[in-house]
Amino acid sequence: MNISLTVDNTQQVSQTLSRFAGLSGDEVAKQSVSPTRELTADHFFAYGNNPANKNKFKVTPTGYWNKAGQATKSSSSGDTINIIVDEKGTPGLVGVRRHYTGGGTIKPSGRISEITQKPIQYLTIPINGAAHGKTVAMMKALGVDLYRKGSALFAKSGNTRSDSDTAMFALKKSIGPQTPNPAIIPTPQQYFETVALVVKNLTDPD
Partner 1 sequence: MTNPRAEEYFRGKRVLPTELRTREFARLPLWVKEQSFFMAGVMDAELAGAFQRASQAVLDGTMGEAEATRIIREGLAKSGYKPEPGQEGTIKDLTTVHRQLINLRTNVALANGWVNDVNRRKSANIQPALKLVRGRNADEPRLWTQKLWPEAVAASGSKASPDRMAALIDDPIWLYLSDFGVPYTPLKWGSGMNQVAVFKSQAREWGLLPPKGKPPEVKPPESLNSTLEVTTSITDPAERNKLLDKLDGLAVFSKDKLVFTDPNGSRPWPVPVLANLLPRQNVDGTENYQKRALREWRNLGGDAAAMSAMEKEFSGTDLLDDWNMLVRRVTTAERIQTTTALVDALANLVSLVL
The single residue among 6, 15, 16, 34 that binds partner 1, judged by CB under 8 A, is 34
CA distances from 191 to 6, 30, 47 (A): 10, 14, 16
Residue 147: what are its φ and ψ, rounded to 5°? Answer: -145, 155
In 4-128, alpha helices (H): 10-21, 25-49, 64-70, 96-101
> Per rule CB under 8 A, is residue 28 in the interface with partner 1?
no
Mark 77-116 with x for binding to partner 1 (rule: CB under 8 A) and - for no binding: -----------xxxxx---------------------x--
Closer to partner 1 by Cβ: residue 78 or 119: 78
- Among 22, 110, 143, 150, interactor with partner 1 by CB under 8 A: 143
Alpha carbon 24 to its chain's center: 33
How many chain residues are in contact with partner 1, going by CB under 8 A?
49
Interface residues for partner 1 in 36-75 (CB under 8 A)? 37-38, 41-42, 44-46, 48-49, 51, 54, 60-61, 63, 65-66, 69-71, 73-75
Measured distance between the N- and C-terminal CA atoms of the chain, rounded to whole angstroms: 42
Q: What angle do CA 123, 92, 107 make, to 5 degrees?
A: 20
What minimum distance in Å lies between the beta carbon of 65 and partner 1?
7
Q: How many residues does the structure list for the chain?
A: 206
Does residue number 6 form part of the binding site for partner 1 (CB under 8 A)? no
The angle subtended at Cα 108 by Cα 147 and Cα 160, nearest 5°, is: 0
Q: Which one of the spans 3-11, 120-128, 157-165, 195-203 is the region binding partner 1 (CB under 8 A)?
A: 195-203
118 scored as a contact of partner 1 (CB under 8 A)? no
Check if the beta carbon of residue 48 is closer than 8 Å to that of residue 72: no
Residue 15 DSSP SS3: helix
Q: Which residue number, 102 or 140, has a Cβ lying nearer to partner 1?
A: 140
Is-cis flag, bond preceding 177, omega within 30?
yes
Interface with partner 1 by CB under 8 A: which residues? 30-31, 33-35, 37-38, 41-42, 44-46, 48-49, 51, 54, 60-61, 63, 65-66, 69-71, 73-76, 88-92, 114, 135, 137-138, 140-143, 197-198, 200-202, 204-206
